[in-house]
Amino acid sequence: MKRANPILVIAVICFSFVVHGQPKPINRLSPDALVADLYREHNRKHSPFFQTRSRALLYKYFEKNLADAIWKDAVHSKGEVGAIDGDPLYDAQDMEIKKLAIDKATFVGGKAQVNVRFENFGQKKNIVFVLVNGKTGWRISDIEYGEGRTLVGELKEGVNLDRVWLCESSGRRSAASCNLRDLGAWASAKRSNSSASGFHESISFFGCAFTL
């Protein structure tokens, strides 16, 4: 019986390790391909918006800070209208979308911009996706709707409106003069009054729940 050539055996083992032992490369989409995939999944009713099932689904498309803000808005709105009060990919509440086109990305200052064009009820609309390149590839950091309106801005405005309402309810003249400690003290006082009257009310402020 012939013995196997040890050099040949070693070569086969090494080749097998190179082919099968290396991790698969991460499939990183280009900026415009990522935006196109977002629209595709959104239109298939697999949108990362308005859901609280998977935070990872948001991280698939959005930069972490924006993903976290979208997630918090969905969680805190509890199925009601939150800071995002329309479809963020079409900037509308009512839609009849035609002629959707996603342009190739342009690159400025280390960021990518992807222009998306479509018609809604016959009206032409352009929105711009701003993307940054991180460890996991390109991710959306903002959506610009025109006239100074952005997705990040609307999320921040929604938080500020909640704070203004709470601060005014607590007797503060402005949100700038109001902090979470003030709101907590106000909620405690309201809770004491509610206990005396037997009536209780619950409110939520950006992740902080108060039972009154």
Containing structural domain, residue 43? 31-146
- 164 falls within a domain: no
Instruction: For residues 113-131, give the mean pLDDT.
Output: 98
Q: What is this structure's pTM?
A: 0.66
- 153 falls within a domain: no
Token output for 163:
């704070």
**pLDDT at residue 32 greater than cutoff 60:** yes
The number of folded domains in the chain is 2
My answer on whether 98 and 180 are in the same domain is: no
More confident residue, 190 or 81: 81
Residues 91-113 pLDDT 10s: 999 999 999 999 999 999 999 99
Token output for 104:
């190739």
> What is the per-residue pLDDT for 126?
97
How far apart (Å, rounded) are the C-alpha atoms in residues 3 and 98?
71
My answer on whether 99 and 190 are in the same domain is: no
My answer on whether 88 and 186 are in the same domain is: no
